[in-house]
Amino acid sequence: MNDVKKLEAYLKLNADGTLTLDPSYTKLDISRSVTNEVQDWIKYLNDLVKQKEAVINSDFSVKILDKDGSVLTLENGNNHKMKVAKKGCGRSGHDLYWWGYNLYFDCNETRTLYQSFKAGGGATSGLALISRVIPVPPTQLASVISGVIGGGLVGFGQMIQDEHEGHGVRIRFTGLGYAAVPTGVFPQ
What span, in angstroms and rounded, lies between the C-alpha atoms of 130 and 92? 10
The pLDDT value given to residue 78:
41
Which one-letter DSSP state was computed for residue 188? -
For residue 168, which of 155, 185, 156, 182 has the smallest C-alpha distance? Answer: 185
The pLDDT value given to residue 133:
59
Domain boundaries, the chain: 1-64, 93-187
Chain centroid offset of residue 128 CA = 15
User: Among residues of the chain, what percentage have pLDDT more than 90?
Assistant: 22
Residue pLDDT, tens place only, 1-21: 678 788 999 999 999 999 999
The pLDDT value given to residue 80:
41
pLDDT at 128 over 80: no
